[in-house]
Structure 1
Amino acid sequence: MGTSDHDDPGSRHDGRQFDLNGRPMVPRRWETLRRAMIGGRAAPRDVLTVTDRDVVVVGESDDEAASSSSILDASTLRPADQAVVRHVLALPDDGVEAAVGLAALDEYEAIPVDVVADRFAIPEGLAPVVLARVQLVDALHLSQERSRMASLASRHSGVAVGWQIVQRPR
């Protein structure tokens, strides 16, 4: 990943490359030279962002015991294409800002709650928070991210209530 001669689906709108964990990758010398000579950014309409509304849900779950692989196997996910992974947390009001700040360290952004509509039940007394980022998705990395989000919510006296993956329709 990041060494091919075409735009990698793991790239983000600013031209940086990201691995399956959403962490920035340093391009190899050949890739840096190629981009300098012929360019390497995707066309603006091809770039997926966490706030895009022209996406469809390809997989989701509110069952913390369901395995990521079983949900993805039953989904319409296109693994080679970028996707937005949205984690829905329920947090006390006084823990939202700190949780969002910590998630930002892993390139997550808080997005409006209305993007997940009423698909997830939020326990009474807690505020819904949706954290999202663009990445490539596979079962292993999705499981890791689900665990991270559950831990993040727990550390702030909340719970992870579900997740969803969205992609642009073909």
Structure 2
Amino acid sequence: MGLMGVPAANLHLVCRLNELQLDRNLLTCLPHALSVHRHLRLSVCDNAFVSMEADKPISVTVPSLKELASVICVRNFPSIPNLSEKIRAHLPWSLAVQFEVYRPCLRCRKSCGLNPTRILVPFPANSSLTCDLDNRPSLLAYLCSAHCVQLYQKNAWRYNL
């Protein structure tokens, strides 16, 4: 039995994360917050990562009122001190934890709301990544709107982490 996923809430805020060993788990992709840690030695051997299909169409759904409100909240209130504590005090725990996941848009770099379009991109190759050569890890990335999805599909090679 192994991890099915890496907890992504507040992972981007972790300081002094030097080494992370996730060998022999059931991971299919890695959270976007791991791309923030540039000096992290990461070992992800023997995991069943999902292969990235470049020609796979990206489906976009109409956002709900909750999703639109979450976009407004994360984009307009990031500078409020102790925002996560205030969110936890007024929202149910399951919803508050969703706000604590780092979700920048791959194309426009703005913060995404609670349910953005998810895509898989290759994990940035660096010397501190240890993995199976035939099974490179994929990274979960986000696109915040239908406009960003359209522009990403036209020039996917232009956008990287």
Q: Taking structure 2 as the reference length, what is the TM-score of the superposition?
A: 0.29
Q: Higher RCO, 1 or 2 (CA under 8 Å, sep at least 6)?
A: 1
Instruction: Pick the structure with more strand per residue.
Output: 1
Question: So what's the TM-score if we normalise by structure 1?
Answer: 0.28
